Amino acid sequence: MGKSKVLMVGGTGYMGRRIVKASLAQGHPTYVLQRPEIGLDIDKLQMLLAFKKQGAHLVEGSFF
């Protein structure tokens, strides 16, 4: 059986960042939702870019 695809909403939060790291470590194709306004928070932007370097796919979108 292949690896599950993971979509993480809230990937820069306390639990979300740990789930993203664990998902990537297990080799799952991991997608992290990136809100358009995230560019205002440099710490979260740097975290998302670090996830991308580790193999995560960033998906821009919003629920509003």
Task: Give the domain ranges of the chain.
Answer: 6-60
Question: CA distances (Å), 28 to each of 21, 25, 37, 40, 64, in order?
Answer: 10, 8, 27, 29, 28
Neighbour count for residue 43 (Cβ, 10 Å):
8
pTM for this structure?
Answer: 0.88
16-55 residue pLDDT tens: 999 999 999 999 999 999 988 776 789 999 999 999 999 9
Q: Where are the alpha helices (DSSP H) in the chain?
A: 14-25, 42-53
Strands 30-34 and 57-60, by their bridges, are parallel
Backbone angles phi, psi at 19, to 5 degrees: -65, -40
The DSSP bridge partners found for residue 32 are 8, 58
